[in-house]
Amino acid sequence: MKAQLVTDIQKYSIHDGEGIRTTIFFKGCPLSCVWCHNPETQEYRQQFMWNQEKCTGCGECAAACSDGAVSMEGPRPVTDPEKCSVCHTCEEYCLQNAREFAGREYTVEELVREALKDQPFYEQSHGGVTLSGGEVLARDKEFLEQLMRGLTERGIRVNVDTCGYVPWENIESVIPYTDTFLYDIKLMDSGLHEKMTGAGNERILDNLVKLSKSGAAVWIRIPVVGGVNDTDRNMKETLDFLDAHSIGQKWIHLLPYHNTGSGKYSRLGQEYRGRDFTTPSKERMQELLDMCLKRGFQARIGG
C-alpha cells in the first residue's frame, strides 16, 4: 500500500479532543480557505519552503543540487520546481535550516509506532490520536481504514478532524473506528462559503446530517473570522440548522481566528489573502458564546 504524505505529527496536543493527544496532519485538502493557517497542508504533493529571514545567501544549496534546480540570483537562491526531484540534498546542506520540504511519506506501520510512543499519556488523560490535515478523509480510504483499525485494536481512541467536503462513503467507512468527529462549519451562506473556501457548503451540511443520523459523536467547530462569519445572522442560521437536525448537542467549539500561520505563505512563494481579517474581541466571542448557550447548546471558546 502506498505511503501517505504527512506534514506534522504534533505531540501533547490538548486542543483536538479530550485529554492529551497526538495530532497527525495529513497533506492535501479539497478546500482552500482564505484564512488557512496551515497552507502547507493544502496541496496533495510535497512542496518546497524557503525561509528568507534565515537564509544568509551562502550558496551551499545551489552547489549541492545535482538537478540544477537551485541557482543564485545575487544573494538569493532561486528554486525551479520543474527541475526539483525533491531529493532533499539542498535541505541537508543548508547550514541555517532555511530550506525544507512540506510533507513526508509515512506508512501505516510507521504512524502506528509513532502513536504508540505516547500511549501512557492517552490512558491517563482519556486522550488518543486525532487525524487532521489538510483533510484526512480525502486521503486513500484503504490506508486510512488500516491506520484507524491498527490504532483502535491497540486501545487508542481516534478522533477525526474534518471539513466535511468529501464523498459521504469516505466518512461512512471510518465511523466504526472513530471516537469523535470534529466537524467544521464555516459559513451558512453557500455563495460566501464558496468565495472564502473555494466550494459551496451543500455537501458539507448534507454529510453532517447523515453523520448525525448515524449516531456518531460529533463536536461542531466554528472558526470565527472577524469580518467574515462573526455576525449574529450567521451564528443564528448555524444554530437554527444544528437545532433543526439535532446536531452537536454535546459541544460547539468557537475558534477565534488568528494569523499565526500567515508567515508560511511567503515561504511557499504564495501571497496571504487574509490581511483584512481580524481576530474577534473577547467581548464579541462571549456574545457568540452566549447565543449558543441560550439556545441550549453546550459550547465553549477554544478547541
How high is the pLDDT of residue 37?
92
Per-residue pLDDT of 59-97, as tens digits, reads 999 999 999 999 999 889 999 888 998 899 999 999 999
How high is the pLDDT of residue 81?
84
How high is the pLDDT of residue 121?
95
Q: Give me the chain's average pLDDT, please.
A: 95
Residue found by looking up cell 501533547 in the block = 12
The winner for highest mean pLDDT among 213-222, 247-256, 264-273 is: 213-222
The answer to whether residues 170 and 138 touch, using CB atoms and an 8 Å cutoff, is yes
Task: Look at residue 250 and tell me whether its pLDDT is greater than 90.
Answer: no
Question: What class does CATH assign to 4-44+104-301?
Answer: alpha beta
Fold of 47-102: Alpha-Beta Plaits (3.30.70)
Residue found by looking up cell 505511503 in the block = 3
Task: Look at residue 11 and tell me whether its pLDDT is greater than 70.
Answer: yes
Domain boundaries, the chain: 4-44+104-301, 47-102
Confidence of residue 35 (pLDDT cuts 50, 70, 90): very high
Instruction: Please give the torsion angle defined by the CA atoms of residues 77, 82, 84 and 85, in that order, rounded to the nearest 10 degrees.
Output: 180
Confidence of residue 118 (pLDDT cuts 50, 70, 90): very high
Per-residue pLDDT of 38-62, as tens digits, reads 999 999 999 999 999 999 999 999 9
The answer to whether residues 47 and 100 touch, using CB atoms and an 8 Å cutoff, is no
How high is the pLDDT of residue 260?
85
Taking alpha carbons only, the member of 198, 183, 166, 188 closest to residue 35 is 198
The answer to whether residues 46 and 86 touch, using CB atoms and an 8 Å cutoff, is yes
Shared fold status for 4-44+104-301 and 47-102: no
Task: Look at residue 262 and tell me whether its pLDDT is greater than 90.
Answer: no
Taking alpha carbons only, the member of 228, 224, 229, 221 closest to residue 204 is 221
The residues near 251 (Cβ < 8 Å, ≥ 6 apart) are: 219, 220, 298, 299, 300
Lowest mean pLDDT among 47-51, 136-140, 246-250: 246-250
How high is the pLDDT of residue 303?
81
Angle at Cα 282 formed by Cα 197 and Cα 292, nearest 5°?
70
Taking alpha carbons only, the member of 129, 70, 121 closest to residue 98 is 70
Q: What is the mean pLDDT of the segment spanning 160-168?
A: 98
How high is the pLDDT of residue 249?
67
The separation between the first and the last C-alpha atoms of the chain, rounded to the nearest angstrom, is 33
